Amino acid sequence: MKRIILTLAAAMFAAPAFSAGWTVDDLGSMSARSDCMTRAERTMKRYYQVHGGKENIGRSEWTLGGYNLRGNVVNALIICPIEAGLVAPFLIVHNSDSDNDARKIVADRVKAIWQEQP
């Protein structure tokens, strides 16, 4: 599953993106999806607490999105797919403008908060 998603992400990188950008980060592995989703939610809530903005979180069975992390143009998604019996979480951050540096800063901040979570 993770390979498929990474292949799709790589295809998006290869396609011409005139002003939007993507950052994809591997967040390691975990034994339970519920632990991954709990950690993802704590991470996004903490991001809003530390960096401001109105909390806007969407959730599915195996994904959690944080929206409007920098104005209306940077969104992040933590996904918790299961591969070979382990949860293989990763972070996808997208910006819809041309400020790729800001997207990378948001990605670094979300990843740092993820790593701080128990």
- For residue 71, is it left (φ>0), alpha (ψ between -120 and 50) or beta? left
Look at residue 17 in the predicted model and tell me its pLDDT.
41
* Of the candidate ranges 7-21, 32-46, 65-79, 104-118, the one whose mean pLDDT is the lowest: 7-21
Structural contact between residues 61 and 87, judged by C-beta atoms closer than 8 angstroms: no
Look at residue 19 in the predicted model and tell me its pLDDT.
55
Structural contact between residues 91 and 40, judged by C-beta atoms closer than 8 angstroms: no
What are the structural domains of the chain? 2-116 (3.30.310)
Look at residue 44 in the predicted model and tell me its pLDDT.
98
Specify the pTM: 0.82
Task: Kindly state the average pLDDT of the residues 81-89.
Answer: 95
Q: 95 - beta bridge partners? A: 21, 74
